Amino acid sequence: MLKSSPFARSATYVLLALSSLFFLSPLVYILLNSFKPAGEIFQVPQSILPKHWTIENYVSLLRSGVADFFVNSLFITFFGVLLVALLSSLAGYGFAKLPFPGANLVLVSIVAMLTIPLVIFLVPMFLMENAVGLLNTKLGLLLPNVAVALPFAILIMRAAFMGIPKELEESAIMDGAGVLKRWWLVMLPMARNGVVLVIIMTAYGIWGEYTMAKALAINPPAMPLSVGLTLQKGEVWQYGTLAAVIVVAMLPPLIVFTIFQKHIVAGVAQGAVKG
């Protein structure tokens, strides 16, 4: 195997550092602006660090009702991730290890669903939720998000379970374990990288979802953060408060990434090996 020279390694590290700085600079800029008074944000030339540090933007954020939107998003994201992880792991295990008549047809149907644009479903979803009284409710946002995230999550979990040697399951069968017991005690722990990948992708997708939320949450009390943020604009944008909202909105995805980061690459690789 060829070894890279110290110069090549150093150049690679410098390039990666510059790339990281390039992509992180907007986030750092927003973070610093959230601690600036309004006058400093529009000052020319701008200073990188705030001259007068203030938390007034975060106080204004609490007064504006953004906390309610934040709680709505947390509720929808948490229970959406829980349902998607549970249902996709069950379905993925069934497709991978419990063959049944018509399994390939159902699998093709799931793949076909991924090719259909989301906007096609907006009007039917609106009419159905209006008919059953789910419009402007947390459950009315939770269920469509789960339905949208589930097909791809099933494919990921199917690939994860297919990568597990069948001998492990056969040993559990010989010990008298039933289907659910084998799934819970043997197969699911072995497919944890796939589960983590589903959790991360679903959490990111639901947390930042805007299209369905805009159509199905018309009243402010039901709006998630992605839609409620648009209500913060009065005659002009309050850019300090807007920066504070963006910082707060970035926290849950960053926390999820920090907790599960070591499983991300392993999960992607596991999902790519078997298809």
Residue closest to 246 by CA, chosen among 270, 258, 267, 230:
230
Using DSSP's 3-state secondary structure scheme, residue 164 falls into coil
Query: Could you count the other beta carbons within 10 Å of the beta carbon of residue 83?
Result: 18
Residues 163-179: what's their mean pLDDT?
88
Q: Which residues contact 65 (CB under 8 A, 6 or more apart)?
A: 220, 228
Digit-coded pLDDT (tens) for 227-260: 988 877 666 677 888 889 889 999 999 898 888 8
- Phi, psi of 64, deg, nearest 5: -85, -5
Domain range summary for the chain, segments of one domain joined by +: 26-64+242-256, 75-231
Task: Please measure the distance between the N-terminal and C-terminal CA atoms of the chain and give it in whole angstroms.
Answer: 30
Cis peptide before 45 (omega within 30 of 0): yes
Q: What fold, for 75-231? A: MetI-like fold (1.10.3720)
In angstroms, the CA 214 to CA 95 distance is: 34
Helix pair angle (138-162, 239-273), 10° resolution: 30
In angstroms, the CA 13 to CA 7 distance is: 10
- Residue 274: the pLDDT is 47
Digit-coded pLDDT (tens) for 56-86: 989 888 888 888 999 999 999 999 999 999 9
Q: Would you put residue 112 in left (φ > 0), alpha (ψ -120 to 50) or beta?
A: alpha
DSSP 98: S
Residues 264-272: what's their mean pLDDT?
56
Mean pLDDT of the chain: 88
